[in-house]
Chains A and B, each alone.
Chain A
Amino acid sequence: MAMESPLTFYDDGLPGIDVGPLCGKLVVVEGPDGVGRTTQITLLRTWLEHSGHAVMDTGLLRSALVGKTIKQAKLGNTLAPLTLSLFYATDIADRLENEIIPALRAGFVVLTDRYIYSSMARAIARGTDPAWIRAVFGFALRPHAIYYLRCSVQDLLPRVVYAKGQFDYWESGMDVRLGKDYYESFERYQTRVMRALDAMAQRYQFEIVDASRSPDKVFRDLQRRISKLLHEKRGKRRAKAKGKAAREAARAPEPGPEPVAEVQSLAAVEG
């Protein structure tokens, strides 16, 4: 575990929110559509609760403010890439302020089924400028751990059909029509999403978990990692008593948004 214990924001953060007293753990499970994140989170939650931890799980589109709106908007045919990205950003900001941060303050383990990385990867797969979307998500809290469930797109294809019976319009990137049918578009779109996630692994310190294995093996792997993370907590708490100086030092400087040549995010409008 290379992550600092006191939570910090990636950039300027949420105005008016103090992250000093947050004593819970923010754990993110990331990965493409159909990789098995939801299954793992269900298993992890049960296991953690049995071990006596208070757990809150959350995931994309569950915000009280915009969750329903986005689901409705996705049923129509007028949702363009930029709007979609900003809707997701609103959803995450709302859950951070109203669910995640209060739960962390109360000492919960917060399991989030996807976080800013998926939203950024989808935007990038749709042609959005990476530096722009990264700066937009500068308000987000830096988690304690990000487990990136990874497998090949070829492994994903049968799982998606098995789990849902058909390809989803948005998961297949049909709004940007990368292929002539769902199968082809899914394959190309998910390849782009995965490439974008792979490119973030180092910057955001993802822990890569091989998800081509059986759910059972993946679960045991995650258990091992999370046990270690939670065990560290006690040590870190004592360290915290050493005072504010240590906390300040832990606020690792995140490079600000870099200047970009051109925002290409409206490429889709140009057709």
Chain B
Amino acid sequence: MRSFSGRKFPGKLIIVEGIDGSGKSTQLSLLSHWLRSRGFGVVFSEWNSSPLVKETTRRGKKKDMFTPTTFSLIHATDFADRSERQILPPLRAGSIVCADRYAFTAFARDMARGVSRRWVRNLYRFAVRPALAFYFRVPLDVALGRILGGREALKYYEAGMDLHLSRDVEESFRLFQGRIIDEYEAMIDEFDFKVVDATLSIEEQQTQIRGIVEEELNLSHANGLLKSPWKGFANGNGIAAHFL
């Protein structure tokens, strides 16, 4: 079964994936600033952020109301809402959409929770196939260290505590996120992930990413696919270029 909708758009969808603490959000944020300064219209879409759904997810998580199926469905609902409002219309208008996590998060996480692969793949079949998908590969210990450096404790669902893999939160996190990493690794070829070594310095990673994005955008420009709001703006001759 085909995983994504085959529709083509004048815009570009760039997404980042990886476990919590892999540093993907930092990298995407740097990338989107850079793209804006180059004169592109950039829309940012974050996993689990739809105003229609967010409150329910928050409440459900707080009260441990989710099962693997409802957890999967509520995230798909969030994704559908963002697709219909935040992702598709800007892509049709020729913008770059940067998504922090995408359907692959659901593929990896829901399968780690025991949801059927066939079912969850079908669930997201309406999703647009990204032009670029970056996967931030990071060892568990590094991710764990980054998360706990930023806040007090691991979250219930992030640690997969609902699966009762272990009573120890850190141990449960390792087991659950380990499964997710296995799922991600298995998708690299299938979905043409660009693998980023997330143990490198922030600057090194960003340079790599910009290089890949640049190549993709140049290609599209040559084909007349990507539109910038003003003529000549996105070719390095934009406002930012005058200031630099």
Partner-B contacts on A (CB < 8 A): 11-12, 14-16, 64-66, 69, 73, 76, 78-83, 85-87, 89-90, 93-94, 97, 132, 135-136, 138-139, 256-257, 259, 262-263, 265-266, 268-270
Q: CB-CB < 8 A to A138: which residues of B? A: 119
CB distance from A197 to the nearest CB of B (A): 22
Residues of A within 8 A of B85 (CB): 78, 80
A64 closest partner in B (C-beta) = B65
Which of the segments B14-22, B109-117, B181-189 contacts the partner chain? Answer: B109-117
Q: B68 within 8 Å of A by Cβ?
A: yes
Name the 5 nearest CB pairs between A and B, nearest first. Answer: A12-B116, A80-B84, A86-B77, A90-B73, A82-B80
Whether B52 lies near A69 (C-beta < 8 A) is yes
Assess the B60–A65 pair: CB atoms within 8 A.
Answer: yes
Q: List residues of chain A with CB within 8 A of the CB of B123.
A: 136
Please give, as numbers and ranges, the residues of chain A lying within 8 Å of B92 by CB-CB distance. 270
Which chain A residue has the least Cβ–Cβ distance from B65? A65
Are A262 and B5 within 8 A (Cβ)? Answer: yes
For A86, the closest partner residue in chain B by CB is B77
Nearest to A268 among chain B residues (CB) is: B84
Q: Which residues of A contact B115 (CB under 8 A)?
A: 15
> In the complex, which residues of chain B have a beta carbon less than 8 angstroms from the beta carbon of A78?
52, 81, 85
Given the interface pairs A12-B116, A266-B5, the reply to whether A139 lies near B69 with Cβ below 8 Å is: yes
Contact assessment for A69 and B1 in the assembled complex, using a CB-CB cutoff below 8 Å = no
Q: Which of A16, A136, A269 is in CB contact (< 8 Å) with B68?
A: A16
| A to B CB contacts below 8 Å, 5 in the list | A11-B116, A65-B56, A83-B84, A90-B73, A139-B119
Contact-residue size bin, chain B (C-beta under 8 Å from the other chain):
35 or more
Q: Is A66 within 8 A of B56, CB to CB?
A: yes
CB distance from A77 to the nearest CB of B (A): 11
> CA separation between A174 and B116, bound complex, in Å?
35
Q: Is the CB of B70 within 8 A of A65?
A: yes
Is the beta-carbon distance between A82 and B84 smaller than 8 angstroms?
yes
Residues of A within 8 A of B67 (CB): 14-16, 93, 97
Residues of B within 8 A of A (CB): 1-2, 5-7, 50, 52-53, 55-56, 60, 65-70, 73-74, 76-77, 80-81, 83-85, 88-89, 92, 113-116, 118-119, 122-123, 125-126
Give which listed residue, A87, A97, A135, A256, contacts B77 with CB less than 8 A. A87
| Residue of B52, B56, B77 with highest tally of chain A CB at under 10 A | B77
For the complex, what is the distance from the CA of A205 to the CA of B30, rounded to whole Å? Answer: 55
* Number of A-B pairs, beta carbon distance below 8 Å: 109
Task: Given the known inter-chain contacts A78-B85, A79-B52, A262-B5, please indicate yes or no for A90 contacting B70, CB distance below 8 A.
Answer: yes
A263 surroundings in chain B (CB, below 8 A): 5, 125-126
Q: Which residues does chain A contribute within 8 Å of B53, judged by CB atoms?
A: 69, 83, 87
- Which interface residue of B65, B73, B89, B116 has the most chain A CB atoms within 10 A? B73
A residues in contact with B69, CB < 8 Å: 14-15, 93, 97, 139
* Nearest chain A residue, comparing its CB with the CB of B77: A86
Q: Give the one of A69, A76, A90 with max B CB within 10 A.
A: A90
CB neighbours of B116 from chain A (8 A): 11-12, 15
**Residue contact A266 to B52, C-beta cutoff 8 Å:** no
With A12-B119, A82-B80, A136-B122 as known contacts, state yes or no: A73 contacts B52, CB within 8 Å: yes
Taking CB atoms, residues of chain B closer than 8 Å to A66 are 56, 74
| Contact, CB under 8 Å: B83 / A266 | yes
Given contacts A15-B114, A80-B84, A266-B126, contact A69 B73 (CB under 8 A): no
- The complex places the Cα of A180 from the Cα of B213 at a distance, in Å, of 46
Asked whether A257 lies within 8 Å of B89 as measured between CB atoms, the reply is no
CA distance A89 to B73 in the complex (A): 7
Considering the complex, give the chain A residue whose CB is closest to the CB of B56: A69
Q: Which of A136, A257, A266 has the most CB of B within 10 A?
A: A266
Q: A83-B52, A263-B125 in contact; A15/B113 too (CB < 8 A)?
A: yes
User: For B77, what are the chain A residues with a Cβ–Cβ distance below 8 Å?
Assistant: 83, 86-87, 89-90
Q: Is the CB of A93 within 8 A of B70?
A: yes
Max chain A C-beta neighbours (<10 A), residue from B52, B92, B116, B123? B52
B119–A259 CB distance below 8 A = no
Residues of B within 8 A of A136 (CB): 119, 122-123
Assembled-state Cα–Cα distance A12/B117 (Å):
10
Quick check: B70 and A256 within 8 Å, CB to CB? no
Measured in the bound complex, the distance between the Cα atoms of B113 and A270 in whole Å is 35
Residue of A76, A87, A135, A270 touching B122 (CB-CB under 8 A): A135
Most buried by B among A81, A83, A136: A83
Nearest chain A CB to B98's CB is how many angstroms away?
Answer: 19
